[in-house]
C-alpha cells in the first residue's frame, strides 16, 4: 500500500521559487531539509517565525555541536525561505554566517625536509642542468664567448634550422630563478 503525503502550500511555493532560479536538485533538497529542521525546532510553520525565533535557532545549532559548514548550509536554506519565498527581509537580515577557520596545510618537519633534499641530490643536478641549458649556458663552451649578433644566422637563410633567439632579459630572469632555486635546494647562494 502506498501512502501519499501532501505538500504544504509554503513548501510548494518554495520549490517553485527554487526551480525558477534553476537551483540544482541537491540544493533544493538541502534547502527543504533545512526549513523542515527549522519548523521542527519551532514546532509550528516557519512563516510565523519572529526575529527571536531565528536567533534562538542559530544558538541551538551552535550548541548542538554542528560544524560551521553545516550550520552555514542550514541557515542558507532558511535565509532563502525568508528572503525569496516569504519576502521577509527583516528576518533574513537576522541570519549571519560564521567564517570557517582557514586550515593550514601540513608542513614537513626540518628533519623530514632534510631527508627529502638529501634524496633529491641527483634530481637537483638534473634541474640545474636543465635550467642552465634553457638559459643558454650549457650550450656555450667556456673557451669561446657567446656569438655576437653579427655571427648569428638569419632564419630566412636557413628555414630548416633553429635560430638562436635573443639572450637578453628573459635569460637573465631565468638565471635569477636558477640561483634562487639553487639557494633553496642547496642552502648556498653560489651553487652555480
pLDDT, one tens digit per residue, over 161-186 is: 544 444 455 555 555 555 556 565 55
- Number of neighbouring beta carbons within 10 Å of residue 142: 6
Question: Taking a C-beta distance cutoff of 8 angstroms, is the pair 86, 67 a contact?
Answer: no
Q: pLDDT tens, 75-84?
A: 999 999 999 9
pLDDT at 117: 61
The answer on 84 and 14 residing in a single domain is yes
Q: Are residues 23 and 85 in the same domain?
A: yes
Instruction: Give 22's pLDDT tier (boundaries 50, 70, 90).
Output: very high
Residue 40 lies in a domain: yes
Within a domain: 69? yes
Same domain, 117 and 84: no
Q: Specify the number of domains making up the chain.
A: 2
Domain enclosing residue 43, as ranges:
9-92
126 and 189 belong to one structural domain: yes
Report how many helices (DSSP H) and strands (DSSP E) the chain contains, helices first.
8, 0
Claim to verify: residue 19 and residue 79 sit in the same structural domain? yes
Residues 79 and 118 in one domain: no
Q: Is residue 1 part of a domain?
A: no
pLDDT number for residue 180: 59
pLDDT of residue 110: 74
- Please state, in angstroms and rounded to a whole number, the distance separating the CA atoms of residues 48 and 86: 10
Mean predicted lDDT score pLDDT of the chain = 74
Determine what percent of the chain falls in helix, strand and coil, rounding each to the nearest 5: 60, 0, 40
Can you give the pLDDT at residue 189? 46
CA atoms within 13 Å, Cβ hemisphere of 172: 3
pLDDT-derived band at 132, boundaries 50, 70, 90 = low
Amino acid at each position: 500500500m502506498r501512502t501519499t503525503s501532501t505538500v504544504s502550500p509554503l513548501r510548494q511555493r518554495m520549490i517553485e521559487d527554487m526551480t525558477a532560479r534553476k537551483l540544482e536538485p541537491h540544493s533544493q533538497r538541502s534547502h527543504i531539509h533545512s526549513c523542515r529542521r527549522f519548523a521542527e525546532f519551532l514546532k509550528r510553520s516557519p512563516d510565523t517565525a519572529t526575529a527571536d525565533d531565528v536567533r534562538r535557532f542559530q544558538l541551538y545549532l551552535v550548541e548542538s555541536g554542528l560544524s560551521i559548514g553545516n550550520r552555514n548550509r542550514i541557515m542558507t536554506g532558511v535565509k532563502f525561505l525568508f528572503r525569496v519565498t516569504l519576502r521577509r527581509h527583516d528576518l533574513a537580515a537576522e541570519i549571519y554566517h560564521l567564517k570557517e577557520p582557514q586550515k593550514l596545510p601540513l608542513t614537513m618537519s626540518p628533519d623530514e625536509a632534510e631527508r627529502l633534499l638529501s634524496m633529491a641530490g641527483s634530481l637537483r643536478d638534473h634541474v640545474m642542468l636543465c635550467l642552465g641549458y634553457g638559459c643558454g649556458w650549457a650550450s656555450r663552451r667556456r673557451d669561446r664567448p657567446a656569438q655576437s649578433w653579427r655571427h648569428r644566422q638569419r632564419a630566412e637563410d636557413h628555414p630548416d634550422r633553429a635560430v638562436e633567439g635573443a639572450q637578453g632579459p628573459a635569460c637573465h630572469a631565468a638565471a635569477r630563478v636558477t640561483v634562487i632555486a639553487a639557494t633553496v635546494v642547496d642552502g648556498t647562494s653560489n651553487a652555480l
